[in-house]
């Protein structure tokens, strides 16, 4: 990524209003083109080991405009550039590889169970209770854990209904969200091999996203 992209996003965070954005539209267009180049590279490379269908860059990029209708924060723009890469693109509704570019060390690659229905959480808990080893083999792999060192997201403070408190997998069963992420420094983002670094993370993340998509969306098929 061009260092100018991070600089633009940093400036946007300090001047998050329509007048400034329109006056600096060319800077945004350059940053967007930089993001499109990264996403295009990832689509091409991920497509070599996963069927992404015929998705295009535009299918993956998320809008920089914020939905402020129900938010107390009326800033019109996000302070980042982001994309969801996976079969169907950002609108598939399934778990994909989420990449967010944001200055000051807040750039990250992530994926996992985040916005789920009660029915999906029930499926997840049923699967973990039945056979937790499949999931644990993936997320406790040394290479995976080195790149994605901790679980992110909410968990119940009490035991979920229908499960015993002495269940050996109780901590996994408590999860309402199960998300992994790897953060990158601004120096890493601006390096020539940043795309390759993200690709490495996606390759490590794939077994987990495959597992979660099967559990949450393909149950009974």
CATH of 3-217, one of 2.40.10, 1.10.1740, 3.30.930, 2.60.40: 3.30.930
Contact 107, 100 (CB under 8 A): yes
Q: What SS3 class is residue 83?
A: strand
Dist. CA 121–CA 171, nearest whole Å: 14
pLDDT band for 68, please (50, 70, 90 cuts). confident
Mean pLDDT of 134-140: 98
Give the global pTM.
Answer: 0.94
Write down the pLDDT at residue 91: 86
Contact 112, 209 (CB under 8 A): yes
pLDDT band for 219, please (50, 70, 90 cuts). very low
Dist. CA 138–CA 117, nearest whole Å: 23
Mean pLDDT of 56-62: 97
Dist. CA 27–CA 3, nearest whole Å: 12
Mean pLDDT of 111-120: 94
Dist. CA 116–CA 213, nearest whole Å: 11
- In the predicted structure, residue 21 carries a pLDDT above the cut 60: yes
Dist. CA 32–CA 25, nearest whole Å: 10
Domain boundaries, the chain: 3-217
């Amino acid at each position: 990524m061009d260092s100018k992209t991070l600089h633009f996003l940093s400036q946007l965070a300090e001047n998050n209003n329509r007048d400034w954005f329109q006056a600096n539209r060319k800077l945004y267009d350059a940053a967007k083109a930089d993001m499109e180049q990264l996403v295009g590279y990832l689509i091409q490379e991920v497509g070599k080991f996963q069927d992404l269908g015929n998705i295009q860059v535009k299918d993956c990029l998320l809008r920089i405009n914020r939905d402020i209708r129900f938010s107390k924060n009326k800033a019109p723009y996000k302070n980042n550039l982001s994309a969801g890469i996976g079969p169907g693109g950002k609108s598939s509704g399934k778990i994909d590889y989420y990449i967010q570019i944001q200055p000051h060390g807040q750039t990250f690659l992530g994926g996992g169970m985040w916005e789920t229905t009660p029915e999906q959480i029930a499926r997840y808990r049923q699967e973990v209770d039945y056979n937790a080893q499949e999931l644990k083999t993936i997320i406790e792999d040394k290479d995976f854990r080195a790149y994605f060192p901790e679980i992110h997201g909410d968990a119940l403070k009490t035991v979920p209904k229908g499960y015993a408190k002495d269940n050996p997998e109780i901590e996994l069963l408590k999860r309402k969200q199960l998300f992994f992420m790897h953060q990158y420094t601004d120096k890493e983002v601006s390096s020539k091999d940043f795309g390759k670094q993200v690709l490495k993370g996606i390759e490590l993340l794939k077994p987990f996203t495959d597992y979660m998509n099967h559990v949450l969306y393909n149950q009974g098929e």
